Amino acid sequence: MEKLAKKINLGYISDAGFYSTAFHSQVLSLLTGLKDRVENINLIVLEQSLFPFLRLKDPEIKRSWERIKEQFRTVEVIVQKPRILRWLMQIESRSLKRIINDNLDKVNVLHCHGEAGGYLGLLARKELRKDIPLISDLRGLVSQESLLCGRERNLITSFLFNLRAHEFKKIEEYVVKESDLIFCVSRKFKEYLKEIYKISPDKIAVVPGLVDSKTFFFNPEVRARKREELGIERRIVFVYSGSIVKWQLPEVTVEFFKKIKEIIPEAFLLFLTNDISGARKYFNGIDKEDYLLISVPNREVPAYLNAADASILLREENLVNHVASPIKFGEYLCCGLPVIITPGVGDTEEIIEKHRIGRLLDLKGLQINKDDLLQLLNNVERERIAKIGKELFSVESYESKIISYWTQVLT
């Protein structure tokens, strides 16, 4: 296996832009872990930030960018236009074609992160007329996410999101049918792809949303220090970490916490999000002593998760969540947190029930039994949960599998 692996010259196309959390927590941590097990890594970043290079004036960002450039044989950035129409992406595929062509002697496998990455990779490969094996790594259903984003918007914005959804449905079909191998994030996602596109299950590999376990892990000392710093040593702490998009139910999460307060008066909520102003309205009627609404850099999130006693991960019932593998689920588990979660979110329900590491919550009425909640909190085995999280969701656990898939498409 290692001899074959050493022959891999990887072209990795990242749909996650340099400034996104996903790039650093998933793409970069994976490639850093694997770079000594392959011949070369050529990294191509699809960036959608407006004027992305202006942000390199920030010394910390500039240092991070320079470190990335030192790690890999080639690092290139393609600044993209808004992803609404396929023909705009076809124009951008020419830039990708040029980069791949310039490094053709050092690329024998293409790994394309995200639907847009897969689509551009396939277009570039077609124009090159080279039979380079290509894996499309699908992290979710972009067309369905676009439809959700278009809800309750003004007429023009809703039209644009619906147009984007239509275009990405076509992209999804093209990527699934033309790629040599598909990665998807859950068994539910795999079943969806098999049913909709009638493709062989052998063409689909399940690789969930992965967590950097060197950053997200349970540490009793970190826990004690952060709880003391926050003044919550005597509180029962629940945590929510994520965005405030509606289908992730941030408002419902706060309402559920209010019900927890009725059962456990000493309950406290850590609410971590990048959109503090948008989330503030959810906290009307809650004493300021009972919650902390805060935005923190991704590198500081593990300390807050360590400080908590349980996590809350509620999701709306829809197709996006049905096939999902929420990164937060893996992060919670790797930090040893039991998870209170709604049923039907990817493969999480089966994991919760099999390993007894959380509770399922019915959104109707948001009812949770007092004795059941107390039992969950009183019987937490942080080390055991963290071990399960690492086995199921860490980058480290999947490195050899991913190497084997790269090798598979080469043979």
Residue range 350-390, pLDDT digits in tens: 999 999 999 999 888 788 888 889 899 988 899 999 999 99
Q: Residue 13 belongs to what H/E stretch?
A: strand 9-14
Q: Residue 237 belongs to what H/E stretch?
A: strand 236-241
Provide the 8-state DSSP code for 105: G
For the full predicted model, state whether its pTM sits above 0.85.
yes
Euclidean distance between CA atoms 270 and 147, whole angstroms: 30
**Cα 352 → chain centroid:** 19
Who wins on pLDDT, 257 or 364?
Answer: 257
| Three-state DSSP class for residue 325 | coil
Q: Which pLDDT does position 50 carry in this prediction? A: 62
Residue 69 region by backbone torsions, left for phi larger than 0, else alpha for psi between -120 and 50, else beta: alpha
Euclidean distance between CA atoms 189 and 184, whole angstroms: 6
Which two tokens mark 86?
């396929």
Neighbour-count burial for 358-369, b at 16+ CB within 10 Å, e otherwise: bbbbeeeebebe
Residue range 260-276, pLDDT digits in tens: 999 999 999 999 999 99
pLDDT-derived band of residue 4, with 50, 70 and 90 as boundaries?
A: very low
Give residue 15's identity as a one-letter amino acid code. D
Residue range 147-185, pLDDT digits in tens: 999 887 888 999 999 999 999 999 999 999 999 999 999
Contact 358, 338 (CB under 8 A): yes
Strand pairing report for 181-184 and 40-47: unpaired
Q: Residue 269 belongs to what H/E stretch?
A: strand 267-272
Q: Residue 135 belongs to what H/E stretch?
A: strand 134-137
Distances (CA, A) of 274 to 3, 23, 195, 271, 305: 44, 16, 37, 10, 16
The answer, yes or no, to whether residue 411 has pLDDT greater than 60, is yes
pLDDT-derived band of residue 3, with 50, 70 and 90 as boundaries?
A: very low
Give the CA dihedral 146, 148, 151, 156, nearest 10 degrees.
0
| Three-state DSSP class for residue 402 | helix
The CATH number given to 220-393 is: 3.40.50.2000
**Domain 2-210+395-410 falls under CATH 3.40.50.2000:** yes
* Percent of the chain residues past pLDDT 90, beyond the cut: 71
Which two tokens mark 23?
């790039």
Residue 392, CB-side half-sphere exposure with 13 Å CA sphere: 27
Q: What is the DSSP string of 181-228?
A: EEEES-HHHHHHHHHHH---GGGEEE----B-TTTS---HHHHHHHHH
Domain with CATH 3.40.50.2000 in the chain: 2-210+395-410, 220-393
**Cα 280 → chain centroid:** 24
